[in-house]
Amino acid sequence: MEIINAKTAGFCFGVRRAVEMAEKAAGEFGGCVTLGQLIHNNDVVRALEDKGVRTVNTADEVLPGQTVIIRSHGVGMAEYEALRAKGANIVDATCPEVKRIHDMVRDDWQAGRQIIIFGERDHPEVIASAGWCEGAIVLESAEEAEKLVKNRPELAAIPVTVVSQTTAVRERFDFCINILKKLCTNLKIFDTICYTTANRQKEAASLASQCEAVVVIGGRHSANSVKLAEICAPLCDKVFFIENAEALDISQLRGIKTVGVTAGASTPEWIIKEVNKKMSDEIREEVSEIRDEQPEQAVETAAEETAQAVQAQAEAPEAESAEEASFEEMLEKSIKTLHTGEKVTGIVAAVTPTEVSIDLGTKQSGYIPASEITDDPNANVNDIVKVGDSIEAYVMRVNDVEGTVMLSKKRLDSVKAWDDIAQARNERTVVEGKVTEENKGGVVVNLKGIRVFVPASQSGLPKDTPMTELVGKTVRLRITEVNQPRRRVVGSIRAVQFEERRERAEKLWEEIEVGKHYNGVVKSMTSYGAFVDIGGVDGMVHVSEISWDRIRQPADVLSIGQEIDVYVISFDKENKKISLGYKDPNANPWTKFTDTYKVDDVAEVKIVKLMAFGAFAEIIPGVDGLIHISQIANQRIGKPDEVLSEGETVNAKIVNIDEENHKVSLSIRALLSAEAAPVAEEE
Ligand code: F3S
């Protein structure tokens, strides 16, 4: 039989800390009481009693001046007040992870939010958390969440905050949240499931899927131990939930090849070792049986192999213990050497909107408040750190009483950032940052957490453009001034734009040629043309080159800021002038006209303008012809409007085409009389 012990089995940090605090207090004060059973394990409670740690159930039972341990589950506000009123000496062993839930509950309730706690209604931790607000709703299951959604429609309109019991099963919590999301429009979710619980549950599921049997060690009242057994049950046929070695019926493990062992957060190491030992003894017995039944040689080999395995398994707890001892020493050492301002490295254990929990490998719990992650007010903590990331931070505060270490990532980043900024200033490198706000006289760019002021004149925006246009945008800038003692950094976006524009202009002048197309932006317009930026250089499109149609001014077709495709008509490198065309040469109406019509053809034309000397008529869009007054009618007329009116459509004969000047002469009279005079010369 192979025994696989879960790495995460046994006391969690919070429980270990509470037990140690109780033992210390009992020694220091000659005994103490715990408000409620310190942990859900009768063996440990009995062992503590032997050391002078007794259990009381309510604050009323506490005597004035008596030392009271608040267990890792914590208590509500009222209990603290009652204990203070009694004059008790309070030793608060509330797990820091749980304490943070209390703070969230209190703060959000005070901010007018409805609190929902996902967890077991009767669990001391849930009762304690609910004791930091009024009217908390406790949900034990998805079914209860469904009922709530149905029966309390008013929750849709009020802000709601949800927290979870630290030992809840994540899938169930997520399921419940999805239901609440259907109703609550203003929902704040704190995933407060303790990462040690989540890891323990994950490992238990993995053991259950690979072993023939799983032994879960924990008290019957220990919620997290019960959950471990529940998680293993669907994955493994044989799950034995026992409180200690005595409760293990070893005969049930006979014939099983692999057994997984896990334990709840309130199970001490010595109980896990006893269970291991009992199973190892069973293996020894199996070996003896083999020895009795098999020939000597085979027995020797089998016995040797099995004994080695047994030895390894049996010694495992001892080895662990030795390892633990040296680990403890290292731990103590590391705790003592943690100082404010020191740089530490840890692993991200959990991320909530308000803080990030860091596993520093010590028994102190590291955390970084959201405000110490980054200076960017718009940043999302989840985008910056992920569970499992290795992270470097500065120690801000060590609280040995609470067992917490407050860390700051942004300050470490800031030191690095100042170095980088000074280097960027010295080496004149271009840096990139996000504009976070408009400021009096300019904008502020966040550069790795450092505020860089960019004066309006250096913003690169055209005059009179509001600075707000830049807010939220990522910009490239050059650092022009660094004064770290005064925490002042000045930058220029314009300098970068200027240099980039100059580089592009140089390249453009090297490569320019007639007919080359550019994608340009209309920068300004006059009555005679539009100036277009084609990449560092402005060219001019004359009004006649904007459209084939008759237009009065460029603004009839173009607008400032419009992106247009232009081509080079001519350029002068020396005087830095470029003449551009916008109208499509392939859509030239004259070409279309000459391809379609020739002299003597008859065309249906539209009278577009009446003049004293004749009428202009549109033959095709973009090509007009002139009907001289003498060619309008057979008889002499005083003015063209005696016969024609604007907008009228008539048939006219093409009597002359002037290719050079793109002019066309038309005649209506030629169609009325065969003796129409040749008019072209006359005109
Ligand atoms: Fe604390 Fe997590 Fe244990 S919340 S008490 S460390 S399970």
pLDDT of residue 127: 96
Q: Give me the torsion for CA of 13, 15, 21, 27, rounded to 10°.
A: -130
Q: Is the CB of 365 under 6 A from ligand 1?
A: no
125 among known catalytic residues: yes
635-668 confidence digits (pLDDT tens): 889 999 999 999 999 999 999 999 988 899 999 9
| 2-5 β-sheet, strand order | 2-5, 258-263, 213-217, 238-242
468-487 confidence digits (pLDDT tens): 889 999 999 999 988 877 78
Residue 341 has pLDDT above 90, yes or no: no
Residue 288 has pLDDT above 80, yes or no: no
Q: Is the CB of 95 under 6 A from ligand 1?
A: yes
| Distance between CA atoms of residues 267 and 21, nearest Å | 17
pLDDT of residue 290: 53
The answer to whether the CB of 55 falls within 8 A of the CB of 34 is yes
pLDDT of residue 319: 38
Nearest CA to ligand 1 atom 5: 14
| Residue 477 and residue 544 share a domain | no
pLDDT of residue 296: 46
Nearest CA to ligand 1 atom 1: 14
Q: How many whole angstroms from 14 Cα to the centroid of ligand 1?
A: 5
In the listed set 332, 364, 388, which residue is the last one of a domain according to the structure? Answer: 332
Q: How confident is the model at residue 298 (pLDDT cuts 50, 70, 90)?
A: very low
pLDDT of residue 333: 44
Q: What is the CATH number of the domain that holds 456?
A: 2.40.50.140
| Residue 215 and residue 292 share a domain | yes
In a domain, 288, yes or no: yes
Q: Is the CB of 97 under 6 A from ligand 1?
A: yes
Q: How confident is the model at residue 297 (pLDDT cuts 50, 70, 90)?
A: very low
Q: How many whole angstroms from 101 Cα to the centroid of ligand 1?
A: 12
**Which residues contact residue 403 at a Cβ distance below 8 angstroms, ignoring those fewer than 6 apart?**
13, 17, 96, 363, 364, 365
| Residue 604 and residue 552 share a domain | no
In this prediction the pTM is: 0.46
In the predicted model, what is the mean pLDDT of residues 142-146? 93
In a domain, 51, yes or no: no
41: closest CA among 272, 385, 214? 272
Nearest CA to ligand 1 atom 3: 14
| Distance between CA atoms of residues 51 and 30, nearest Å | 9
Q: Is the CB of 223 under 6 A from ligand 1?
A: no
313 φ/ψ angles, rounded to the nearest 5 degrees: -65, -45
| Residue 237 and residue 122 share a domain | no
Q: Minimum mean pLDDT among 538-547, 548-557, 590-599: which range?
A: 548-557
Q: How many whole angstroms from 66 Cα to the centroid of ligand 1?
A: 26
Q: Is the CB of 12 under 6 A from ligand 1?
A: yes
Q: How confident is the model at residue 596 (pLDDT cuts 50, 70, 90)?
A: very high
In a domain, 22, yes or no: no
Residue 96 has pLDDT above 50, yes or no: yes
Q: How many whole angstroms from 181 Cα to the centroid of ligand 1?
A: 27
| Residue 149 and residue 118 share a domain | yes
Residue 526 has pLDDT above 50, yes or no: yes
Number of compact structural domains in the chain: 6
The answer to whether the CB of 375 falls within 8 A of the CB of 449 is yes
Residue 379 has pLDDT above 90, yes or no: no
For residue 79, the one-letter residue type is E
Task: Supply the range of the domain harboring residue 381.
Answer: 336-412
Catalytic residue among 125, 243, 274, 355: 125
In the listed set 138, 162, 193, which residue is the last one of a domain according to the structure? Answer: 193
- Looking at ligand 1, which atom is closest to the CA of residue 96? 1
Q: What is the mean pLDDT of the chain?
A: 85
394-448 confidence digits (pLDDT tens): 888 887 766 788 899 988 887 888 888 988 988 889 999 999 999 878 999 988 7
DSSP annotation string for 307-331: HHHHHHHHHHHHHHHHHHHHHHHHH
| Residue 317 and residue 291 share a domain | yes
Q: Is the CB of 222 under 6 A from ligand 1?
A: no
Record the tokens describing residue 366, joined without a space: 């590291």
Residue 320 has pLDDT above 70, yes or no: no
pLDDT of residue 286: 62
In a domain, 662, yes or no: yes
Q: Give, for ligand 1, the residue of 92, 97, 362 to mutate: max count of ligand atoms closer than 8 Å to Cβ.
A: 97
Residue 334 has pLDDT above 60, yes or no: no
- Looking at ligand 1, which atom is closest to the CA of residue 13? 6
pLDDT of residue 363: 63
Q: How confident is the model at residue 359 (pLDDT cuts 50, 70, 90)?
A: confident
In the listed set 447, 471, 497, which residue is the last one of a domain according to the structure? Answer: 497
The answer to whether the CB of 217 falls within 8 A of the CB of 244 is yes
Residue 454 has pLDDT above 90, yes or no: yes
In the predicted model, what is the mean pLDDT of residues 516-523? 93
| Residue 481 and residue 396 share a domain | no
The answer to whether the CB of 18 falls within 8 A of the CB of 72 is yes
pLDDT of residue 292: 56
Residue 17 has pLDDT above 50, yes or no: yes
Q: How confident is the model at residue 464 (pLDDT cuts 50, 70, 90)?
A: confident
Q: How many whole angstroms from 367 Cα to the centroid of ligand 1?
A: 14
433: closest CA among 379, 507, 362, 484? 379
pLDDT of residue 538: 92
69-91 confidence digits (pLDDT tens): 999 999 999 999 999 998 999 99
Residue 219 has pLDDT above 90, yes or no: no
pLDDT of residue 318: 39
Residue 153 has pLDDT above 70, yes or no: yes
| Residue 326 and residue 236 share a domain | yes
- Looking at ligand 1, which atom is closest to the CA of residue 73? 5
pLDDT of residue 287: 58
Q: What is the CATH number of the domain that holds 316?
A: 3.40.1010.20
| Residue 322 and residue 350 share a domain | no
- For the chain, the straight-line distance linking the first and the last C-alpha, in angstroms and rounded, comes to 118
Q: Report which listed range, 168-172, 494-498, 601-605, 670-674, is most confident.
A: 601-605
- Looking at ligand 1, which atom is closest to the CA of residue 97? 4
| Residue 631 and residue 593 share a domain | yes
Q: Minimum mean pLDDT among 188-202, 290-304, 587-601, 646-660: which range?
A: 290-304
| Residue 596 and residue 570 share a domain | no
In a domain, 201, yes or no: no
Residue 313 has pLDDT above 60, yes or no: no
Q: Give, for ligand 1, the residue of 166, 203, 402 to mutate: max count of ligand atoms closer than 8 Å to Cβ.
A: 166
pLDDT of residue 241: 94
In a domain, 465, yes or no: yes
| Residue 189 and residue 122 share a domain | yes
- Long-range CB pairs of 43-51 (<8 Å, 24+ gap) are 43/243, 43/244, 43/268, 43/271, 44/19, 44/266, 44/268, 48/19, 48/22, 48/23, 51/23, 51/26, 51/27
- Looking at ligand 1, which atom is closest to the CA of residue 98? 4
Q: Is the CB of 404 under 6 A from ligand 1?
A: no
